[in-house]
A and B are shown apart, each in its own frame.
Chain A
Amino acid sequence: MFAPVYLDHNATTPLHPEVLEAMLPYLREQYGNASSRHEYGRAARRAVDEARQQVAAATGAHATEVVFTSGGSESNNLFLKGAAVSLRPGLLAVSAVEHPCIARPAEQLARQGWEVATLAVDGEGRVEQGAYAELLARRPALVSVMLANNETGVLQDVAALAQAARPTGAWFHSDAVQVLGKLELDFRALNGAGVHALSVSSHKIGGPKGAAALVLDKRVELQPLIAGGGQERNLRSGTENVPAIVGFGAACALAARNVKENRRRLADLRQQLEAGLHHQGARIFGAGAERLPNTSYFAFPGVDGETLVGYLDRAGFAVASGAACSSANPEPSRVLMAMGVAPELARGAVRVSLGATSTAAQIEEFLGVLKGTLERLTSLTAMAS
């Protein structure tokens, strides 16, 4: 069976074997609806409660601050739209490098009477201090800045941004989907600095797809996105997806246990990778900023990213050109455009994101294959011109 080396962990991650173990009973004999009063239901309810504790522990939150959703996109939609309904239309600020599941809801709010300001970023992808200060002077009601960018891995100093926003009274949200499991995440500390909500997702940390959470300061009043049976304290109705929630909880427990070691291990592997990339003439985006330890977003001048990625796949390496969610779209990355990268270079963008199954041997092999592929591609280009 052709099983390419998987280097696309920011897109999704393989399920951790311990997570599968935790989930299986809930796909078999333990099938109760968590809202049912009989023993089947009560067992399901206990499982959901335990998972909630695990998610809370991994994010430095209290269990009552964890709202289960079906995905990171939903968590982001829930916060922005739910907050917007509670507040009167005002100013919403989002960074220029947010994931589409923040950017698109923001556009939707703009159609509903909100003013939306896009926070410019510098050449390394960090929110520009000057632009931010100007924005704060306009007293935003809502701010959303992601903790780590899914394409570049660049980190924002969300605690500092939130702290600066406090005097405005704005509700501050951060998409932390790419951070959980890679870096320590402490909602309590962030909340103390003025962050009111975080989005986290299961399938980025070795958990199953289909479960995620919005970690939410209880003082924030959100209008639910999904109405009905009243689950999640009325914030998110719908029969609880017990197996996925259990898997999410188990994945969180693992992530919390392994994060320190993980961080070091990934940083070493990425170091090895980028040494090789530099040697081959790659331009690495956001390298001047603090980044997630696992992500490397780069381009080779004159080499088309889509094409390179196609060759790499055939050679047995699964990587990405641009983000998964928009990889059907031939436009150059919005994130790179916001960083001022020239479109021709941006079109060369390739993302390698390492994870639990990544090894030094894989990186070594990848660099070798990359070298060969580049040689072929540049000679083909030479022949064509």
Chain B
Amino acid sequence: MKLPIYLDYSATTPVDPRVAEKMIPFLVEKFGNPASRSHSYGWEAEAAVEEAREQVAALVNADPKEIVWTSGATESNNLAIKGAANFYAGKGKHIITVKTEHKAVLDTVREMERQGFSATYLDVQENGLIDLEVLKAAIRPDTVLVSVMFVNNEIGVVQPIAEIGEICREKGIIFHVDAAQATGKVDIDLEKLKVDLMSFSAHKTYGPKGIGALYIRRKPRVRLEAQMHGGGHERGFRSGTLATHQIVGMGEAFRLAKEEMVEENKRIAALRDKLLKGLSDMEAVYVNGDLEHRVAHNLNMSFAYVEGESLLMAIKDVAVSSGSACTSASLEPSYVLRALGREDELAHSSIRFSIGRFTTEEEVDFVVKLLHSKVGKLRELSPLWDMFKEGIDLNTVQWAAH
């Protein structure tokens, strides 16, 4: 068992060796620029790109023509929101999103606000799910775009995408979904889901970093203002030389995901159940996010009466995260946990465990033991824990200033 144990699959995943194997030839011998029309190096690269496009489309039941390559889900989110909002600005300038979205969505929507759009950031319920009535109430005649992520990166909950799609389609509102954490974990059928734009990431699904895609619906046709101009690649949606090896990697990763998702989900669910059972027999621990509408891979838990930083340092043998990777440099408590109604203290003492393809039972057992030990020790040192054990309701305490 290699230490530290990696339980941070939501931050990034290892490239599956089978994916790496497919990629390497296109990094080495087959290095042609896919846009080179004048020789076989280029044609070979182009063919590989188109095959990968089919593989990505197949995972989500889309037409390959609806898949546009980007440098990652962050770029896809930017392209979807800026591209759609700017194109449809004549119809209206109101955007709706959710407080628990990834920063790639939130910061982009804030950027649109600075450019004269208005935005509504929906609250979520205590379980992390949005209330469809709240969404409906937020819709205005000038709403042009709704953006809701499929699977939350911090707490793993799955939003009611199908229902939201129905609502948006009925009102003629463009519906964007950040599916970076969803591929390979939940079934995605874009023939059934009334989603107009969907962002994909490779490195969350055992593919390489640096490559993603944006699904852009053709029936009915969705239009976007391009954000990256130049040689006209990707039918004008996104200019720039395509990185063949990265694209081949994403295609293969998504192909494997399609093939293995059902079986893998079973295995991961069993591991998650083990982890949850093992950790839940401690007092005052809570799972963040709905227990039913979630992916098996994610378990975000708060350990009361344990100081967050100390806990993270104590469990250095496990690579996890508190809050999302993209914000873990800041010591602010997670805005997602705050949106669930968690107070700062509890939000600070939270750990996101995310399980993946290469996680073993042995690793889960180790983590359970380690958490029991460290949480126990830290609580022994905590006067708040003593008070809790004595039955004192800490909310009623009048703390004296020093």
Contact = CB atoms under 8 A, between A and B. Distances in A.
A and B: real partners?
Answer: yes
B12 A31 contact: yes
Which among A209, A318, A323 has the highest number of chain B CB atoms within 10 Å? A209
Contacts of A20: 27-28
B231 interface: yes
Given A229-B103, A237-B74, A210 B243 contact: yes
A185 B396 CA distance: 67
Interface string A20-64: 100100011101110111111100000000000000000000000
Contact of B8 (A4, A8, A38, A238): A38
A238 B320 contact: no
B37 A242 contact: no
Contact of A35 (B27, B36, B328): B328
Contacts of B103: 227-230, 237
B302 interface: no
A12 B32 contact: yes
B57 to A, nearest CB: 21
A327 B312 CA distance: 54
B8 A36 contact: yes
Interface stretch (A97-105, A155-163, A263-271, A340-348): A97-105
A225 B238 CA distance: 13
B208 interface: yes
Contacts of A27: 15, 20, 23, 208
A38 B319 contact: yes
Interface in B64-111: 71-75, 77-78, 102-104, 107-108, 110-111
Contacts of A243: 208-210
Contacts of B102: 228-229
Contact of B230 (A37, A73, A225, A229): A73
B39 A35 contact: no
Given A36-B11, A228-B326, A101 B240 contact: yes
A159 B325 CA distance: 42
A225 B227 contact: yes
A328 interface: yes
Contacts of A317: 39
A209 B241 contact: yes
Contact of B327 (A32, A39, A41, A229): A229
A231 B240 CA distance: 21
A203 interface: yes
Contact of B243 (A3, A14, A208): A208
A381 interface: no
Given A15-B28, A70-B71, A318-B39, A33 B227 contact: no
Given A41-B11, A320-B36, A325-B230, A36 B319 contact: yes
B246 A209 contact: yes
A35 B325 contact: yes
A228 B78 contact: yes
A146 interface: no
A20 to B, nearest CB: 6
A99 B324 CA distance: 38
A367 interface: no
Contacts of B111: 227
Contacts of B239: 73, 100-101, 104, 325
B247 to A, nearest CB: 9
Contacts of A35: 11, 325-326, 328-329
Interface string A319-347: 11101111110000000000000000000
B230 A101 contact: yes
Interface string A212-254: 0000000000000111111100000111111110000000000
B203 interface: yes
Contacts of B246: 209-210, 241, 244
B242 interface: yes
Contacts of B35: 11, 324-325, 327-328
A148 interface: no
Contacts of A105: 229-230
A100 B321 contact: no
B15 A2 contact: no
B20 A28 contact: yes
Interface in B302-326: 312, 316, 319-321, 324-326
B208 A318 contact: no
B346 to A, nearest CB: 20
A31 B6 CA distance: 10
Contacts of A325: 35, 230-233, 239, 241
Most buried by A among B23, B227, B240, B321: B240
Contact of B211 (A28, A210, A228, A240): A210
Contacts of B73: 238
A2 B41 CA distance: 10
Contact of A239 (B12, B23, B227, B328): B12
A108 B229 contact: yes
Contact of A74 (B13, B40, B71, B329): B71
Contacts of B28: 14-15, 20
A265 to B, nearest CB: 20
A231 B39 CA distance: 38
Contacts of B13: 31
A239 B241 contact: no
B13 to A, nearest CB: 7
B42 A324 contact: yes
Contacts of A318: 32, 36, 38-42
Contact of A101 (B41, B229, B244, B327): B229
B31 interface: yes
A241 B70 CA distance: 13
Interface string B29-59: 1011101111111100000000000000000
Given A12-B33, A228-B102, A4 B15 contact: no
B48 to A, nearest CB: 12
A239 B202 CA distance: 11
A14 B111 CA distance: 39
B245 interface: yes
Given A12-B241, A15-B27, A35-B326, A40 B6 contact: yes
B191 to A, nearest CB: 30
Given A11-B33, A318-B40, A33 B245 contact: no
A104 B326 contact: no
7 contacts: A8-B36, A32-B11, A38-B4, A74-B240, A77-B229, A208-B243, A328-B37
3 A-B pairs with least C-beta separation: A241-B210, A229-B326, A325-B231
Given A36-B328, A38-B320, A70-B243, 4 more contacts: A39-B316, A74-B228, A77-B230, A324-B33
Interface of B: 4, 6, 8, 11-15, 17, 20, 23, 27-29, 31-33, 35-42, 71-75, 77-78, 102-104, 107-108, 110-111, 203, 208-211, 227-233, 239-246, 312, 316, 319-321, 324-329
